[in-house]
A and B are shown apart, each in its own frame.
Chain A
Amino acid sequence: MSKKAESRNDSDSYVTADGRTIGPAVMEMRNITLRFGGVVAISDISFDIREGEIRAIIGPNGAGKSSMLNVINGFYHPQEGEVLYKGEVRKPMKPYQIAHQGIARTFQNIALFKGMTTLDNIMTGRLTHMKQGMISQMIWKGKAEREEIENRAIVEKVIDFLEIQSIRKTPVGRLPYGLQKRVELGRALAAEPSLLLLDEPMAGMNVEEKEDMSRFILDVNDEFGTTIALIEHDMGVVMDLADRVVVMDYGRKIGDGTPDEVRNNQDVIDAYLGVSHD
């Protein structure tokens, strides 16, 4: 299951070999530079993410990948450069405002709400869609209860999709690592995002878990058309899943194209010494 479509640099939609439609760029990074005090984390990077594609961001440790994801996510503000989302230049915004724009993410070190159950955690993913005010919530009967039930139905679909029905009411703190990662994915999916950011979704998983997660990621992209950007170290996964890849090293972009194009790029090979993590 690999995508061998050619890299397109125009902004027209095209159809991949397996029938998915990839649209124009939904997110563009233009000359992004990010500094923390004296340290330059990202240096003059530009690339785009097209609608409906799976874009991987790879690179050795410390390359600045997580920082890049945080910039996409709006958590960090680059000192130089522009971020364009759906064609518009992004103004400085608070992270919660960006969530309302339809960007959801998972985290490298699992940021679930340990005091709540699986169901409640995934329900928090729906918070951007729940509008009922305080008085209505206090009374409960009527609009608030209806809204709760509607959103519960959507969350249950996500739960079905991820096959985690049996752990619905378990406090997430008690779940094994692999399931926690799945619940976190569920929380991101529940938001029905246009852009899904995954920070090392396979970290710490065994082969079976990786296969499951890969399947979920592909299904999300296929069934819902969600654009996905992911950071990943497992080269096998990247080659299988990604439509296009961005390679970073020491805060700079050293490769950008399809998995095949990038695999044969000498700079990339040098940066990694050609190591494949299978």
Chain B
Amino acid sequence: MFYREVGEFKTSYRSDQQTFPIALDRTGFLVTLAFAFVIIPLTMSEYWAQAVFLPFLIFGIAAIGLNILTGYCGQVSLGSGGFMAVGAYSCYKLMTGFPDMNIVVCILLSGGVTAFVGLLFGLPSLRIKGFYLAVATLAAQFFLVWMFNKVGWFYNYSASGQITAPEREIFGFIVTGAKAETLPVYYVCLVMLFSLAILARNLTRGAFGRKWMAIRDMDIAAEIIGVNPLMAKLTAFAVSSFYVGISGALLFALYLGAVEVGEAFSIQKSFLILFMIIIGGLGSIFGSLVGAAFMIGMPVLLKNLLVTNLGWPGDIAAHLEFMIVGLLIVVFLMLEPHGLAMLWRIIKEKLRIWPFAH
């Protein structure tokens, strides 16, 4: 009754194909945009910005990237952490090697480097599939972390092995380094997420999305109807790594400022992003964002509830977090492999006819 599709007749293929075919959805989207671009930045506290919003924006990009590879194209990757590291270290080398380069260009180029690396690691994907590919990506994860730790060229031979982002600005606002201001950083990340999400949406609703999904669902049949499997998989790896690399570069330069590869880009991060897309919904851009919001927001909420309000020690909150995440992963895989995005769609379907039962 509230959520109406009645009366929404589409008279052209263009309007049938649009991202938000239902008027109420379009309004909802605009309201969300208003919140994201105006209301939140003006009202958020420093704590919420650093603890929730910035990580959400940054990991949202990574989640979209992984979803393209795993959710749409069906190639499971456990190496996202390592690829974020590639993005971060590329950004570092570009920033220190070309001090006059605009930071946005650095970030985009870092994405490009990561796309190339992703392409290389994607080459074996023609011969090894499914679970075995997942293990190969695990190998990539460990190797990349080792490499950035050991090979001095990557961290400019600094004694600590850490990489630190030098100061950079956009339109006069400092966005990296110690003097970075939160608001400009927020807007940079927001604009990046917004544009990348739109590009991803366009890519996945057209021919490429269909090629990827065909490979995912039945790769032999896909090949027989004319999909070049190597090109499809390589493009998925490249695009996905582009996104993950940008996310890593943003995480390093704009959020953390200084990074130690073993801590910041460990296998825990790979799992974090994987969990985002499982819970949020495989094969859904919207789902990637929902999942990212959940995995970033839930620990913060839990900590606030248990530690701040109930006075429990912090480690209990951490343990419960693990239990809840593990439980949700198993439950979602059992009941709704298409995650919260699918649940949301089902709720909307029910709302369409509420208060009637059918």
Interface residue ranges of B178-228 to A (CB < 8 Å): 199, 202-203, 206-208, 210-211, 213-214, 216-218, 220-228
Which residues from B are CB-within-8-Å of A153? Answer: 13
Which residues from B are CB-within-8-Å of A152? Answer: 13, 17
| Number of residues of chain A lying within 8 A (CB) of chain B | 40
Q: Does A145 contact B (CB under 8 A)?
A: yes
CA gap between A27 and B208 in the complex, in Å: 32
* B86, chain A: closest CB distance, angstroms: 21
Size category of the binding interface on chain B: 20 to 34
Which residues from B are CB-within-8-Å of A130? Answer: 207
Which residues from A are CB-within-8-Å of B125? Answer: none
Q: Does A75 contact B (CB under 8 A)?
A: yes
Which residues from A are CB-within-8-Å of B206? Answer: 132, 137, 140, 144, 148
Contact of A138 among B202, B216, B229 (CB under 8 A): B202
Q: Do residues A127 and B226 form an inter-chain contact, with CB atoms below 8 A?
A: yes
Q: Does A246 contact B (CB under 8 A)?
A: no
Which residues from A are CB-within-8-Å of B222? Answer: 113, 124
Contact of A116 among B213, B220, B228 (CB under 8 A): B213
Binds B, one of A18-26, A36-44, A99-107: A99-107
Q: Do residues B202 and A132 form an inter-chain contact, with CB atoms below 8 A?
A: no
**Contact code string B3-44 (vs A, CB < 8 Å = 1, else 0):** 000000000011001000000000000000000000000000
Q: Does A96 contact B (CB under 8 A)?
A: yes
CA gap between A124 and B226 in the complex, in Å: 9
Contacts A/B (CB < 8 Å), 8 sampled: A95-B224, A107-B221, A115-B283, A116-B217, A125-B225, A130-B207, A137-B203, A144-B202
Residues of chain B touching chain A, judged by Cβ–Cβ distance below 8 Å, are 13-14, 17, 199, 202-203, 206-208, 210-211, 213-214, 216-218, 220-229, 235, 239, 283
Closest 10 CB pairs of A and B: A99-B226, A111-B221, A113-B217, A140-B202, A128-B226, A138-B199, A130-B207, A152-B13, A95-B223, A137-B206
Residues of chain A touching chain B, judged by Cβ–Cβ distance below 8 Å, are 73, 75, 94-96, 99-100, 104-105, 107, 111-116, 120, 123-125, 127-128, 130, 132, 134, 137-140, 144-145, 147-149, 152-153, 156, 187-188, 191
